[in-house]
Structure 1
Amino acid sequence: MKVIAINGSPRKDGNTSQALKVMADELKKHGIDVETIQIGHLNIHGCTGCGYCSSSKKNRCVFKDDIVNETAEKMRESDGFILASPTYYAGIAGNMKCFLDRAFLTSSNYFRFKVATSISVVRRAGGVDVVHQLNNYLNLAETILPPSQYWTSAYGMDKGEVMKDSEGVQTLRKNARAMAWLLEVVNFGKEKFPLPADEGHIMTNFIK
């Protein structure tokens, strides 16, 4: 089985990267391969709401000159994924938001019942807001979220400080362990129980 980890930080080997490594190390103990893709330092177009992806072949985004289509395809093919972002003004980092808007608009239908989770890294406050924002994507894509003992945030400012947050590291480790268990359960269950039937999304607009 394979998990794709999306690193929304622009800093190479920073606290977000180290928090993801905690998750990856735990998943690897359970025989799960993890590929980490850092997107926070890249130039990524924001979604323009053009609707191209709804009619294009394999629901590709109209922008072909950045990493979104390629990475979304890897997420589609994976058994699960992790979304990780630093905290900017109690919100998701800008490039990560651009990536998520487009990846999930094009691919949410491919993500149904995959196991997915989110983590944030924060200096002091706002990390819970980031986890909630990331989870909005996961919930609306009908993914399965593994639990942990607390919100999946880890604290640190300077590079490496996140590893001094013992409770945060433990929370991430337990989340990864639960993710590994859910991946096994879902993989085993597919052999006996088909996924729930889907139906067309009814869209109700409130302004006529």
Structure 2
Amino acid sequence: MHVILVNGSPHPHGCTFTALETVAAALDEWGVTTEIFQVGTKPLSGCIACRKCAKLGRCVFDDRVNEFVDLAEKADGFVFGSPVHYAAAGGAMTCFMDRAFYSSSGAGRPVFRLKPAAAVASARRAGTTATLDQLNKYMTLAEMPIVSSRYWNMVHGNTPDEVRQDLEGMQIMRVLGRNMAWLLRCKEAALKAGIPMPEAEQKVVTNFIR
């Protein structure tokens, strides 16, 4: 079992990374392999709604998004982490999530369906719940079981050292990692027991104006 943790912060070893690193350590304890995928600092275009992904099988912009989606096909679970920028996920992370989820669904690639996932938000002070609401919406659209902890998945601090002093936040990250590992084990056991995954229905789209 393998989990990809996406760091949507421009800082490769900042506060968001510190939170994800803690989740990864808890997963590792349960024998789940992990990797932290850095969105990075290179410019990322937002989705331009060209819909060429349906024909190409990938986003028309060949950058970190396509690299991630290729890796995601073989992954078993995900944690998407973002810093809070103006009470929302960072701009690069928003572009990344828009294109990763839209291009894979538009191309008909079963990259995310029924794979456990969680969102993590990092902030100096506030805006975390709005950021979590934003990130969780991608997962619900992709039929992904959302993994919870014993509180909302957030940490507070202005530096990695301050985040580590957020003892409750660190505990939330550890519990999140263990809960995800347990859910992954349950899914594995169910498949071994012959319990099939639910059949995917063809998508129905209803427009309000006809």
Residue 147 of structure 1, CA deviation: 2.1
1:207 aligns to what? 209
Q: Which amino acid aligns with 1:194?
A: P
Q: Which amino acid aligns with 1:187?
A: E
2:42 aligns to what? 42
Counterpart Cα distance in 2 of 1:153 and 1:40: 21
1:168 aligns to what? 169
Counterpart Cα distance in 2 of 1:12 and 1:60: 26
Taking only aligned residues, the RMSD between alpha carbons, in angstroms, comes to 1.1
Q: What pairs up with 1:68-147 in 2 under 5 angstroms? A: 68-108=65-105, 109-147=110-148
2:58 aligns to what? 60
Tell me the matched-pair count.
205
Residue 160 of structure 1, CA deviation: 2.2
Residue 80 of structure 1, CA deviation: 0.5
2:31 aligns to what? 31
Q: Is the 8 A contact 1:9 1:40 kept in 2?
A: yes
Q: TM-score w.r.t. structure 1 length?
A: 0.95
* % identity of equivalent residues: 41
Residue 110 of structure 1, CA deviation: 2.3
**Residues 45-99 of structure 1 deviation map (CA, whole Å, 9 limit, x = unaligned):** 210011111222xx211112x1111111111210011100000011010111111
Q: Which amino acid aligns with 1:197?
A: E
Report which stretch shifted further, 90-99 or 36-45. Answer: 36-45
1:18 aligns to what? 18
Residue 207 of structure 1, CA deviation: 2.4
Give the match's secondary structure for 1:157. coil
Q: Which amino acid aligns with 2:205?
A: M
Counterpart Cα distance in 2 of 1:190 and 1:69: 29
Q: TM-score w.r.t. structure 2 length?
A: 0.94
- Residue ranges of structure 2 left out of the alignment (5+ in a row): none
1:148 aligns to what? 149
Q: Is the 8 A contact 1:76 1:107 kept in 2?
A: no
Q: Which amino acid aligns with 2:152?
A: W
1:195 aligns to what? 197
Q: Is the 8 A contact 2:5 2:34 kept in 1?
A: yes
Residue 178 of structure 1, CA deviation: 0.3
Q: Is the 8 A contact 2:46 2:99 kept in 1?
A: yes
Q: Which runs of 4+ in 1 moved over 6 A?
A: none
Counterpart Cα distance in 2 of 1:72 and 1:41: 18
Q: Which amino acid aligns with 1:200?
A: Q
Counterpart Cα distance in 2 of 1:32 and 1:107: 25
Residue 145 of structure 1, CA deviation: 1.4
Give the match's secondary structure for 2:54. helix
- Residue ranges of structure 1 left out of the alignment (5+ in a row): none
Residue 24 of structure 1, CA deviation: 0.5
